[in-house]
Amino acid sequence: MIESLRGFIKPGSEEEALIQKIDFSKLPKHVAVIMDGNGRWAKMRNLPRVEGHKAGLKAVKEIVETCPRMGIKYLTLYAFSKENWKRPQKEVKTLWGLLANYLKKESSVLVKNEFRLNVIGQMEQIPERTKKELVRVMDMTRNYDKFIINLALNYSGRSEIVDAVKKILDTDRIKGNDLNEELFSKYIYTSGIPDPDLLIRTSGELRISNFLLWQIAYSEIWVTPVYWPDFNRRNMIEAILEYQSRERRFGDIKAG
């Protein structure tokens, strides 16, 4: 076990047995997560949907603590899609309020650990109170690079591609023949960040829900039936082990 996990993983636990199987020289650099199942988690317990979202924030905290300890550099969390505006207005308002409160409470933890917060998505529509908290925390953490957390907010994979095209069209220096995949990648929201090696989806749904359409071309995908509020560090360790069991060929006949 690597030193950063000592005291975090309980000796003799199932988690410790699993962590011993991990090859720490072959970790994914970037993990992306579609956090799904908050509403169904609450419904199973005869609770209001908001209680599922509150419980989901606890799972976020645990995974944010786990990933850097394991040596993962980038974590992208699908927190609010452009399609989520279709939900009841009261639920949407509550979601943005929960995020603002969470940022206010946890920003000191990010600073203490030198974690950086980024937002990917169209921030213009985000409610003002939440937007102010996001800008505040991003400003506070902009120079940190130990661990980078990307929150996908008011996000759409298709909109991201369209926005990239708009930026390119507005740039007189780029001609059609000059455009290639490497250059295009400089105009997407995650410019400068490696593509996800591993995409995790909770709740068992077998779709990518308009998430990182450009970036996940060769990501390994792991789906778990666990609802997001119940997702914990043991599940993350299981995902890493599954990732390491796969042969990544990137279209070749041999592993890359």
pLDDT in tens, 222-252: 999 999 999 999 999 999 999 999 987 676 6
Domains and CATH numbers, the chain: 26-156+196-244 (3.40.1180.10)
- CA angle, 153 then 221 then 53, to 5°: 40
Report the distance separating Cα 49 and Cα 210, nearest Å.
23
Which of 228, 243, 236 is closest to 9 using CA atoms? 236
Report the distance separating Cα 60 and Cα 232, nearest Å.
9
- Residue 53 contacts residue 38 (beta carbons within 8 Å): yes
Q: Is the pLDDT of residue 255 over 70?
A: no
pLDDT in tens, 64-83: 999 999 999 999 999 999 99
- pTM for this model (two decimals): 0.95
Q: Is the pLDDT of residue 89 over 70?
A: yes
Q: Across the chain, what does the average pLDDT equal?
A: 94
Report the distance separating Cα 42 and Cα 168, nearest Å.
44
Active site residues: 36, 84
